[in-house]
Amino acid sequence: MYYPRLKDLREDKDLVQKEVAALLGIDQRVYSNYETGKREIPTRFVVILAKYYKTSADYILGLTNNPKPQ
């Protein structure tokens, strides 16, 4: 699955992949694979990122176009 919103959200905060990877406690290469869809992102990371970006998990996963959490 491809997660284009991960990159958009990261770039909106002027972050590099290494910074987001550090937030998640993983290597930058692993995080890169989530952004490009080479690996599925674990649910626990979606939750962490949704809280960090102040959006919903549904938005990150592409299930809604509304970035505001419910």
Tell me the pTM.
Answer: 0.92
| Residue 68 in tokens | 């505001």
**Taking the domains of the chain in order of start, what are their residue ranges?**
4-59
pLDDT tens-digit map of 49-67 = 999 999 999 999 999 999 8
Quick check: 30 pLDDT over 80?
Answer: yes
Give the helix ranges, DSSP H, for 1-69. Answer: 4-12, 17-24, 28-36, 43-53, 57-60
The CATH number fitting domain 4-59, selected from 1.10.260.40, 3.40.30.10, 3.40.50.10490, 3.40.710.10: 1.10.260.40
Quick check: 70 pLDDT over 80?
Answer: no
Burial of 9 (0-12, 13-18, 19+ CB in 10 A): buried
Q: Which residues contact 14 (CB under 8 A, 6 or more apart)?
A: none
Distances (CA, A) of 60 to 16, 57: 17, 5
**Per-residue pLDDT band at 1 (split at 50, 70, 90):** confident
Mean pLDDT across the stretch 5-24?
97
pLDDT of 40? 95
